[in-house]
A and B are shown apart, each in its own frame.
Chain A
Amino acid sequence: MAASARKKKEKKKDFQKAKLKVGKTKARPDSFTSTSFKAKSIVLNPQSLATSAPSPTLQFNHHLSLLTSKSENQRRDSLAYLTTAVASGPLPQPLAVILEKIRPLLLDSSHAVRQQLNKLLRALPAEEITSNAGSLILLTRAGMTHLSNDVRLTALDAFEWLLETAGKEVVGIAGVWVKTLKCFLGLLGWQKNQDDNAENSKWSIIKQARARLAGADKIFVKQLLALTLFLDAGIGQQEQELSKLQPSTFPLWHTQFHMLPHRPNPYGYLNLAGAARDEESEAYEDRLDRQRVFKKLALAQVEDGLEQARKEGGEVGRAAAALRRAVNLGMMGFVE
């Protein structure tokens, strides 16, 4: 009992008011800091007095660093500067460095910034993108599944651009083919239902989910088109590949296999250094592999979904028809 009485007393102490008295100065609070000191001098940080403007490279780097600025106007302006700088001449920094910096802006909260970013991406030299596509695809996918509709739209734009510039390389990167397919199935609401109890209500769920999004039809069409592009890149007919395989010079056979490789990480499929890969994160380098995986994981669901989408008619129906064509073309020559 004695202990608890003591505790009670201690607790009470915190709430006791200090007594104020007329004519006496108020007691100072515990957190009072004396500011009565005087400084003899004030030191200013040295400022640059250079008369010549900084070099373009320096400015470029400066603007790169400004991309993480808190102000969205600042970010947008810096992106605009980078766009013109990139368009005007050779890159002052390696592309990988630039991509590393601009990549997070795919998910930026400001619409203007994302628009500007798409412009910048389109200004980048296409031939170099092919070797750096891997770093972009992840965040593009993150953007496509973002909560905000607006972000999804711009991310789809970026995705389309990426497929147009480096479609073949993108689908061959480890993990991209399966994960992106799954991502699309999820976005379109076509994935297999994993909780079996909700089997019959699936249709209504998709409808609900789409109804909750503003401008859902527009984005749905856009997603369908993006998927069409993706399938084209992955399992579409690729004539030039066949022509490349033709032995051209008589005494040499399979010349291209003995030449220096013209793409980065040529032995990536061996996966010598990384962690062990499962089906999802495996790299599917040629068309046959991709077709096989597509058939196994997605074909049935895509066809089901297409059936539904075709019935909707209108813009959705047209996009669905395009996608069906792509699927048919892609799976045309496939035999197990």
Chain B
Amino acid sequence: MVKRKLAALEKVEADLTNLQHKIRRDPPSYQIEFGNQYHQYEVYRDILLEAPSTTEESRVISLHDLIGFVSHVADCYRAITKNFAQDLIGLLSAHHAVLEYELRDKIVGSLVLLRKKGIIDSSTLLNTFFSIRASTPSKSLRALLFQRILSELRNSNSKTINHRLNRTTQNALFELVTSDRTTPKTLWAVKLTRELWKRQIWTDPKSVEIMKEAALAENKKVIIAGVRFFLGGDKEREEAAEEESDEEDGIDMAQLRHQAGINKKTNKKEKELKKAAATVRKRERKKNQPHPLNFSAFHLLHDPQGFAEVLFAKHLQAAETKLNLEQKLLILQLVSRLVGLHKLALDTLYSYFLKYLSPRQPSVTSFLASLAQATHNLVPPDMLEPLIQKIVNEFVSEAAASEVASAGLNAIREICARQPLAMNETLLQDLVMYRKSKDKGVMMAAKGLLSLYREVEPEMLHKRDRGRDAALSLRAGDKKRARFGEEKAGEIEGLELLEKWKEDERKKRREEKGLPLDNLSDEEADQDAEDEAGWANWDAEEDGSDDSGGWIGVHSGGSEIDISDDEDSPGPSKRVKIEKDTTAEKEPIVANEDVTNIPKLSKLATTRILTPVDLAKLQELRAQAEVSKLMPNKKRQKQLEDRHADDPFTAEQIEGLATLSAKRTKEEKIAMARADREERHQSTTAKRKEKKEAEGKSTTNKEKARKKNFMMTLGKAKAKSKRSLIEHRKILKAHSERKKRGGRRSNR
């Protein structure tokens, strides 16, 4: 009998990858082979279970390979491998502490693979990982599991938000954080939440609740992690989102299409092109979508008052806190931001500050910033007065250093900007005198205080300090002293412009029709018709809005939210009878007011629903008005307005003016002047040359000749002068000849 020739692959011993490949192509016909391998896996597992801590190479490696193999093809033989996932979970949870580390990591990876293939569900996987993560002593395993948990959560939320999974996970984390407040082991729960918050996977109150509990823990690390989340988590999230959109800019469709025309056409290239086109399309669609509403963590807090109180009492007021100054400052920042943002009443906080307000206190500017941040218009002035007095006594005196004085004045200014009633007349007049100081920082700080009070309470200043505008408005009597607790009525920005515009339009139309200007019932009908028209074509308006060039200058997109504010308005066509009467009465009044130029709150938004057309017009009018704001004297005001209420007030802002006091060197001044410029100017040639040099490319002959060492040229020059006439003629002839030919290589 002739010996049968073996195929190349058959010679290979124990080639699991080969078998895996074959199984992928045709699962039913390799069932027996798979059964054998699965049996082998079971044997190896049993052997391992005899001594789980073994590191014996042959056992561990074969089991490692077999686990990988089985988990890769497990979806083809669900009946045979029905216990496989449970086996792995059992193995890992029972022996994770002693297993050889590569094998352990392989099991983790295989479980994730099984999850991807849909053999186990994510809650099983996460439950397993959570329990192991909590109990394992190995740092590397913890890191691995953390990463896997994170990616699992990301994946299961990638297509649609998996609310159920999120809820169970959040509940588990919440339990973890609240069950034992003293261990640092819960830190990873905080990390996980923060990471998911950053990636905008979790944006709900429950995750904020987890962080709140973390901030109220007993353990230092956990507390600080929680506090840092509140102070920096939202900024981090914004930056991550920005970076993501930055990265996406990379695809240049035109270039890709051009390349596809030139390069060899392969299936792969075609696929790549299609994929790129799809991403570009997707991004375009995304751009047109409205921005998803993202509330900051502060706004998602339940019961900020309770949180601030407990935080303050537990970590700052209590006698036996183990926190150091830096950590205390972080917590103080958080408390003061909560107080400032939500206008909480936390009376003990202000007396707490009293003991820290002295120039010798380390990082006192942070304390000052926190104090300013914690101030709002509902804080009783008599609570703030002693604090201001203390700042004045400690910081602002002739004897104090200029930095100290400017910091103090600046802090007082910031406090008074938030609660003007905290200042009394004599003190203010004293402080304003510092604007005559020789030091620039102190002078600027005092001027800041002065200009603040010119705006809010000119009466408290000396007559000569009030300035022209303030004095005029005082004489006119339209500046009234603000009372404690008084709130300005809210209004929609630019609404009076819209009203005026509407009135004009209506008048125009009536004139065209030849109707009298003040027929009320007609006017009513007129208005309704107008409204109907506004609603009728609002879809068209929306679609067209991208193409029409008129509204490009639109400033901010807040109008949709504004209408849903506390002004409640009845429907336009089905209005109640009473409402009808009130509007009818008030319309002419509004017109009258327009004439007399007395600004009063517009009733437009309270009496009717603004149609989309109205809103668009409002935006336009606002944009027009915006132009006037860019005039130089209004610039600073706008800057102040732009500072968002959510933004923190920091120590740097308090110290800012102190930098003016220090004398700068010339270099510093030059550097400062140059800081905002892009780069120094360069000609295109110079830029190209620089680029070429940086890439390590060669230079031209001309350049080489120009850069040649002078000493090397001397010899030739000498020889040139000593040439005989004959030689010279020869050279000249050769030159002319060469020119005719077109160069040495005659490249014509």
The smallest C-beta distance from A113 to any residue of chain B, in angstroms, reads 13
- B101: interface (CB < 8 Å): no
Say which residue of B13, B43, B58, B79 sits within 8 Å of A147 (CB atoms). B13
Give complex CA distance A109, B46 in Å.
22
In-complex Cβ contact of B694 among A16, A68, A138 (8 A):
A16
- B353 at interface by CB-CB < 8 Å: no
Q: A209 to B6: give the CA distance in the assembly, Å.
A: 16
Q: With an 8 A cutoff between CB atoms, is A19 at the interface?
A: yes
Q: Is the CB of A68 within 8 A of B31?
A: no
Contact A16 B695 (CB under 8 A): yes
Collect the chain B residues with CB atoms within 8 Å of residue A189's CB: 32
Interface residues of B in 1-53 (CB under 8 A from A): 4, 6, 10, 13-16, 19, 28-33, 35-37, 39-40, 42-44, 46-47
Q: In chain B, residues 684-708, which have Cβ atoms closer than 8 Å to a Cβ of chain A?
A: 693-696
Residue A186 lies at the interface, judged by CB distance under 8 Å to chain B? yes
The contact of B79 among A17, A19, A139, A194, by CB within 8 Å, is A194
Cα A198 to Cα B29 in complex, Å, equals 9
Q: Which of B4, B40, B79 contacts A146 (CB 8 A)?
A: B40
* B28→A195 contact, CB < 8 A: yes
CB <8 Å contact, A182 and B39: yes
Report yes or no: B29 in contact with A104, Cβ–Cβ below 8 A: no
Asked if B44 and A142 make an inter-chain contact with CB atoms under 8 angstroms apart, the answer reads yes
Among B28, B32, B37, B77, max chain A CB count under 10 A is at: B32
Say if the beta carbon of A65 comes within 8 Å of chain B: no
CB of A265 within 8 Å of the partner chain: no
Does A186 contact B15, Cβ atoms closer than 8 Å? Answer: no
Residues of A within 8 A of B37 (CB): 145, 147
- Cα(A187)–Cα(B57), bound, Å: 27
Closest chain-B Cβ to A100's Cβ sits at a distance in Å of 10
A4 is an interface residue with CB less than 8 A from chain B: yes
Q: Are A4 and B249 in contact (CB under 8 A)?
A: yes
Which residues on the A side are within 8 Å of B16 (C-beta)? 147
A187 proximity list for chain B (CB < 8 A): 36
Asked whether B667 is an interface residue with its Cβ less than 8 Å from the other chain, the reply is no
Q: Is B274 an interface residue (CB 8 A)?
A: no
* Total B residues in contact with A, Cβ cutoff 8 Å: 40
Please encode chain B, from 56 to 92, with 1 for each CB lying within 8 Å of some chain A CB and 0 for all others: 1111001000000000000001011000000000000
CB of A301 within 8 A of chain B?
no
Bound CA span A205–B34, Å: 12
CA distance A183 to B46 in the complex (A): 14
Interface string of A182-206 (1 = CB under 8 A from B): 1100110101001101100100111
Question: Would A17 and B77 be within 8 Å (CB), given that A104-B59, A139-B43, A145-B39 are in contact?
Answer: no
Contact A186 B13 (CB under 8 A): no
A-facing residues in B432-474 (Cβ within 8 Å): none
B57 touches A205 (CB 8 A): no
Residues of A with C-beta under 8 A to B13 = 109, 147-148, 150-151
The yes or no answer to A76 lying at the interface (CB within 8 A) is: no
Known: A16-B695, A147-B19. A198 touches B36 (CB 8 A): no
A142 touches B40 (CB 8 A): yes
Closest chain-A Cβ to B247's Cβ sits at a distance in Å of 7
Is B398's CB within 8 Å of the partner chain A? no
B59's nearest neighbour on chain A, judged by CB, is A104
Partner pick for B696 among A17, A141, A191, A206, CB 8 A cutoff: A17
If A16-B694, A148-B14 touch, whether A104 touches B246 (CB-CB below 8 Å) is no
B640-677 contact mask (Cβ, 8 Å, vs A): 1 or 0: 00000000000000000000000000000000000000
Q: Is the CB of A194 within 8 A of B696?
A: no
> Are the CB atoms of A107 and B58 closer together than 8 Å?
yes
Give complex CA distance A197, B29 in Å.
12
CB <8 Å contact, A206 and B28: no
Residue of A nearest to B16 (CB): A147
Q: Which A residues lie within 8 Å of B57 (CB)?
A: 68
Q: How far is the CB of A194 from chain B (nearest CB, A)?
A: 4
Chain A residues in 8 Å Cβ range of B4: 214
Asked if A18 CB lies within 8 Å of chain B CBs, one says: yes
CB of A3 within 8 Å of the partner chain? yes
B76 to chain A, nearest CB (A): 9
With a CB–CB cut-off of 8 A, which chain A residues contact B79?
194-195
Q: Contact between B47 and A205 (Cβ–Cβ < 8 Å)?
A: no
Residue of A nearest to B242 (CB): A3
Name the CB-closest residue of A to B678: A2
List residues 17-64 of chain A with CB under 8 A from any CB of chain B.
Answer: 17-19
- B13 and chain A: residue at smallest CB distance: A148
Nearest to B76 among chain A residues (CB) is A195
Set B32, B43, B62, B249: member contacting A141, Cβ < 8 A: B43
Nearest-Cβ distance from residue B659 to partner chain A, whole angstroms:
25
Mark each residue of chain A from 225 to 248: 1 if its CB lies under 8 Å from any CB of chain B, else 0. 000000000000000000000000
Q: B243 interface residue, CB < 8 Å from A?
A: yes
Q: Which residue of A lies closest to B26 (CB)?
A: A208
Interface contact B40-A18, CB-CB below 8 Å: no
Kindly state the separation between the CA atoms of A24 and B390 in the bound complex, as whole angstroms: 71
Chain B nearest CB, measured from A28 CB (Å): 17
Whether the pair B695, A17 counts as a contact (CB closer than 8 A) is yes
CA distance A204 to B28 in the complex (A): 11
The distance in angstroms between the C-alpha atoms of A3 and B57, with both chains bound, is 48
**Known: A104-B56, A195-B77, A214-B10. Contact between A138 and B696, CB under 8 A?**
no
> In the bound complex, do residue B246 and residue A4 qualify as a contact, i.e. CB atoms below 8 Å apart?
yes
Contact B696 A18 (CB under 8 A): yes
Report the nearest A residue to B94, measured CB to CB. Answer: A275
Q: In the complex, what residues of B have CB within 8 A of residue A198's CB? A: 28, 31
- A201 to B14: give the CA distance in the assembly, Å: 26
State in angstroms the CA–CA spacing of A1 and B250 once bound together.
Answer: 11
Residues of B within 8 A of A208 (CB): 29
Inter-subunit contact A147/B44 (CB<8 Å) = no
Task: A107 to B44: give the CA distance in the assembly, Å.
Answer: 12
- Whether the pair B77, A145 counts as a contact (CB closer than 8 A) is no
Q: B56 to chain A: which residues have CB within 8 Å?
A: 104
Identify the closest chain B residue to A205 (Cβ): B29
Closest to B57 in A: A68
Give the distance to chain B from A203, nearest Cβ to Cβ, in Å. Answer: 12
Q: How far is the CB of A134 from chain B (nearest CB, A)?
A: 10
Question: A139 CA to B59 CA in the complex, in Å?
Answer: 10
A302→B58 CA distance, assembly (Å): 34
When distances are taken between beta carbons in the complex, the residues of chain B under 8 Å from A139 are 43, 47
Q: Which residue of B lies closest to A152 (CB)?
A: B36
In the complex, the answer to whether B47 meets A138 with C-beta atoms within 8 Å is: yes
Tell me the minimal C-beta distance from B364 to chain A in angstroms. 35
Complex contact B247–A4 (CB within 8 A)? yes
A61–B379 CA distance with the chains assembled, in angstroms:
86
B35 near A191: Cβ-Cβ < 8 Å: yes
A189 CA / B58 CA spacing, docked (Å): 28
Of chain B, the residue at the smallest CB distance from A104 is B58
Among the interface residues B15, B16, B36, B58, which one has the most CB atoms of the partner chain A within 10 A? B36
Known contacts A19-B696, A195-B79: A186-B35 contact under CB 8 Å: yes
Q: For B28, list chain A residues within 8 Å (CB).
A: 195, 197-198, 201, 205
B321 to chain A, nearest CB (A): 40
Which of B33, B44, B57 has the most chain A CB within a 10 Å cutoff?
A: B33
Q: Shortest distance in angstroms between A30's beta carbon and chain B's nearest beta carbon?
A: 17
Question: In angstroms, how far is the closest chain B Cβ from the Cβ of A188?
Answer: 9
Residues of B within 8 A of A148 (CB): 13-14
Q: Which residue of A lies closest to B14 (CB)?
A: A147
Residues of B within 8 Å of A150, CB to CB, are: 13
Whole-angstrom distance between the Cβ of A109 and the nearest chain B Cβ: 6
A142 touches B77 (CB 8 A): no
A-B contact pairs, 9 of them (CB 8 A): A18-B696, A104-B56, A109-B14, A147-B15, A147-B19, A147-B37, A151-B13, A198-B28, A204-B29
Query: Closest 6 CB pairs between A and B?
Result: A194-B79, A17-B696, A145-B36, A142-B43, A209-B32, A186-B35
| Chain B residues within CB distance 8 Å of chain A | 4, 6, 10, 13-16, 19, 28-33, 35-37, 39-40, 42-44, 46-47, 56-59, 62, 77, 79-80, 243, 246-247, 249, 693-696
Known: A4-B249, A17-B696, A104-B56; 7 extra A-B contacts, CB below 8 A, are A4-B246, A138-B43, A145-B43, A183-B39, A186-B39, A198-B28, A205-B29
